[in-house]
């Protein structure tokens, strides 16, 4: 589109924002053009002044108003008027040669588990439904310092618990490919925002698949880095159970946000990994240890076939480890951490506002002895050793990202999978704990869709600290597949 025509359409859009939404007559090609750009392309266009920050904000706000009422990805939205004023200031700064960073003037929404100064900070809990954050967290400050304009928050389950994004304040978030099905979680709002093109990139966090699972359920990239890449606590020996991480519509956008979030910005100039003779250890459903919905393994194996055709070596394999011990270790350590929220449990007026699953986790944590925790740590240490052994044989380990396809937003969690009963509310996510317990880098890459159009992904896991190589593999995989190019038919409000 010629610059003159582009500006004409944008001015019409800006004027429309001052009208009630039902009266807007903005041409749809404007939003389609801008909101479909990758984050990196958008960043370069803003810096080159090919497009203004006001034009970008106008296009994104129109798109959000049209689709967010259906998908419920973005919550606690800032008013259009305030956002357009911020965008105008970003343009004025750029005109003076004051470039804030690669996210200069770009709209961004922070997952509602992190505080953003002056914005609502609920964590999906009725305990904090009216809380306003006084300052940015250190990680959010990094994103702000790159020039992002915070337009709101992204929806999350209560305290991030569970891989189904719903809470009593904002309700449920739907998958970009079917808003009646869950977006996953806990970064469900972030992933849906990407899949629906309401956000250029998104931040999140991952304890039990919270970046990977919604990545799979929305056909986007979700990267859980090694736990020392972003987080200040822990080290290679004492790894955290969770970490913040980036999500993107493609791998390069994901890497770009990781560069901002990381303690040390060392993720530049990554290239697709040559796939010839790269050795992959495919674990499938762990020899039927994991219950898995029909069709998931087959989609992953189709993706692995593409990799084999490109020269990679794929071998079926299993860990030399008692897998039930991993679950014991994981649940002990996870539930023990919940004692940090004991204050909510011990006061009836607070406990009454908690989701039952959190109450159950706290009670589990209270039941453990010191010996239970020591035993769990010992198992985890042994798992580190087993991971090292497996990575001596394989460059990457591969598992499906989820054990079920996206399911109804009205279902809090799957009670059964393929006829097998789930004995806890999070057992259906067990496939992700091999990476989480190891603290290793793991990226969700898409593997396509089932006959109902439901998306799925697989986890590519690397050795602790080998984050660059995992991302370079994802770049190479993206070059030989077309799944990310399959966009959803969005449902308008």
pLDDT one-digit tens code per residue, 414-456: 999 999 999 999 999 999 999 999 999 999 999 999 999 999 9
Q: Report the candidate in 41, 56, 43 with the shortest Cα–Cα distance to residue 10.
A: 56
Region 53-58: mean pLDDT is 98
> Tokens 């392309």 — which residue?
41
The confidence score (pLDDT) of residue 32 equals 54
The confidence score (pLDDT) of residue 2 equals 35
- Would you state the structure tokens that stand for residue 466, as one six-digit string? 């080998």
Q: Between the CA of residue 176 and those of 57, 72, 246, what are the distances in Å?
A: 21, 10, 18
Q: Report the candidate in 300, 219, 309, 200 with the shortest Cα–Cα distance to residue 260.
A: 200
How far, rounded to the nearest angstrom, does the alpha carbon of residue 441 sit from its chain's CA centroid? Answer: 14
DSSP string computed for 413-461: S-SEETTEEPSSTTGGGGGGHHHHHHT--EEEEEEEE-TT--EEEEEEE
Range with the poorest average pLDDT among 1-5, 227-231, 388-392, 431-435: 1-5
Region 71-80: mean pLDDT is 98
Q: Where are the alpha helices (DSSP H) in 160-218?
A: 188-195, 212-217
Region 35-47: mean pLDDT is 98
The confidence score (pLDDT) of residue 7 equals 37
Q: Is the pLDDT of residue 18 over 70?
A: no
Q: Is the pLDDT of residue 24 over 60?
A: no
Can you point out the beta strands (E) in 207-282?
A: 221-224, 243-248, 279-282
Tens digits of residue pLDDT in 219-252: 999 999 999 999 999 999 999 999 999 999 999 9
Q: Report the mean per-residue pLDDT for the chain.
A: 94
Contact 111, 203 (CB under 8 A): yes
- Would you state the structure tokens that stand for residue 82, as one six-digit string? 């305030």
The confidence score (pLDDT) of residue 28 equals 37
- Would you state the structure tokens that stand for residue 129, as one six-digit string? 């439904």
* Cβ count near 148 (within 10 Å): 27
Confidence band for 135, pLDDT divided at 50, 70 and 90: very high
How far is 111 from 205, CA to CA, in rounded Å?
8
Contact 187, 222 (CB under 8 A): yes
Contact 105, 87 (CB under 8 A): yes
How far is 54 from 88, CA to CA, in rounded Å?
6
Contact 236, 228 (CB under 8 A): yes
For the packed helices 323-337 and 370-393, what is the interaxial angle rounded to 10 degrees? 130
Q: Between the CA of residue 288 and those of 283, 317, 407, 429, 433, what are the distances in Å?
A: 10, 13, 22, 15, 16
Tens digits of residue pLDDT in 151-185: 999 999 999 999 999 999 999 999 999 999 999 99
Domain with CATH 3.90.1300.10 in the chain: 3-317+394-485
Q: Where are the alpha helices (DSSP H) in 112-196?
A: 138-145, 188-195
- Would you state the structure tokens that stand for residue 75, as one six-digit string? 């919550």
Beta bridge mates, 149? 107
Q: Is the pLDDT of residue 12 over 60?
A: no
Q: Is the pLDDT of residue 374 over 70?
A: yes
How far is 104 from 143, CA to CA, in rounded Å?
10
Q: Is the pLDDT of residue 11 over 70?
A: no
Ramachandran category for residue 152: left, alpha or beta (phi over 0 → left; psi -120 to 50 → alpha): left
How far, rounded to the nearest angstrom, does the alpha carbon of residue 260 sit from its chain's CA centroid? Answer: 16
Q: Between the CA of residue 476 and those of 311, 396, 397, 447, 472, what are the distances in Å?
A: 12, 13, 16, 14, 6
What angle is formed at CA 416 by the lines to CA 410 and CA 419, rounded to 5 degrees?
135
Tens digits of residue pLDDT in 107-131: 999 999 999 999 999 999 999 999 9
Structurally, at CATH architecture level, domain 3-317+394-485 sits in Alpha-Beta Complex (3.90)
How far is 456 from 262, CA to CA, in rounded Å?
27
Preceding peptide of 186 cis, ω within 30°: yes
- Would you state the structure tokens that stand for residue 416, as one six-digit string? 């059964």
Contact 190, 116 (CB under 8 A): no
How far is 433 from 428, CA to CA, in rounded Å?
11
Contact 82, 118 (CB under 8 A): no
> Tokens 């990680």 — which residue?
139
């Amino acid at each position: 589109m010629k610059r003159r025509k582009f500006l004409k359409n944008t001015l019409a859009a800006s004027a429309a924002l001052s009208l009630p939404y039902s009266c807007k007559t903005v041409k749809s090609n404007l939003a389609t053009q801008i909101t479909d750009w990758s984050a990196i392309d958008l960043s370069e266009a803003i810096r080159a002044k090919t497009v203004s920050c006001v034009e970008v904000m106008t296009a994104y706000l129109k798109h959000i108003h049209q689709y967010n009422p259906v998908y419920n990805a973005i919550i606690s939205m800032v008013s259009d008027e305030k956002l357009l004023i911020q965008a105008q200031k970003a343009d004025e700064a750029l005109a003076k040669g004051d470039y804030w960073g690669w996210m200069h003037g770009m709209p961004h929404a922070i997952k509602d588990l992190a505080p953003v100064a002056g914005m609502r900070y609920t964590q999906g809990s009725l305990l904090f439904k009216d809380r306003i954050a006084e300052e940015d967290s250190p990680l959010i400050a990094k994103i702000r310092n790159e020039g992002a304009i915070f337009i709101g928050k992204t929806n999350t389950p209560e305290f991030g618990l569970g891989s189904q994004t719903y809470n009593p304040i904002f309700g449920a978030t739907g998958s970009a490919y079917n808003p009646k099905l869950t977006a996953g979680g806990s970064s469900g709002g972030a992933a849906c925002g990407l899949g629906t093109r309401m956000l250029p990139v998104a931040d999140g966090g991952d304890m039990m698949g919270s970046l990977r699972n919604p990545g799979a359920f929305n056909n986007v990239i979700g990267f859980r880095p090694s736990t020392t890449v972003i987080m200040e606590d822990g080290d290679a020996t004492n790894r955290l159970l969770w970490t913040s991480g980036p999500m993107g519509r493609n791998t390069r956008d994901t890497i770009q946000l990781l560069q901002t979030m990381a303690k040390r910005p060392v993720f530049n100039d990554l290239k697709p990994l040559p796939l010839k003779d790269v050795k992959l250890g495919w674990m499938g459903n762990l020899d039927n240890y994991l219950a898995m919905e029909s069709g998931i393994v087959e989609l992953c194996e189709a993706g692995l076939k593409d990799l084999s055709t490109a020269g990679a070596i794929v071998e079926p394999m299993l860990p030399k480890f008692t897998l039930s011990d991993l679950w014991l270790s994981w649940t002990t350590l996870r539930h023990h951490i919940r004692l940090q929220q004991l204050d909510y449990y011990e006061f009836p007026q607070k406990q009454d506002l908690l989701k039952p699953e959190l109450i159950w986790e706290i009670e589990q944590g209270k039941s453990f002895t010191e010996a239970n925790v020591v035993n769990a740590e010992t198992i985890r240490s042994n798992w580190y050793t087993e991971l090292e052994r497996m990575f001596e044989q394989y460059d990457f380990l591969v598992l499906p990202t989820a054990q079920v396809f996206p399911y109804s937003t009205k279902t809090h969690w799957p009670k059964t999978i393929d006829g097998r009963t789930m004995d806890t509310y999070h057992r259906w996510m067990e496939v992700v704990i091999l990476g989480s317990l190891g603290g290793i880098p793991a990226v969700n890459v898409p593997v396509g869709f089932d006959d109902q159009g439901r998306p799925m992904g697989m986890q590519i896991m690397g050795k602790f600290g080998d984050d660059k190589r995992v991302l370079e593999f994802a770049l190479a995989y993206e070059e030989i597949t077309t799944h990310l190019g399959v966009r959803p038919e969005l449902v308008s409000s």
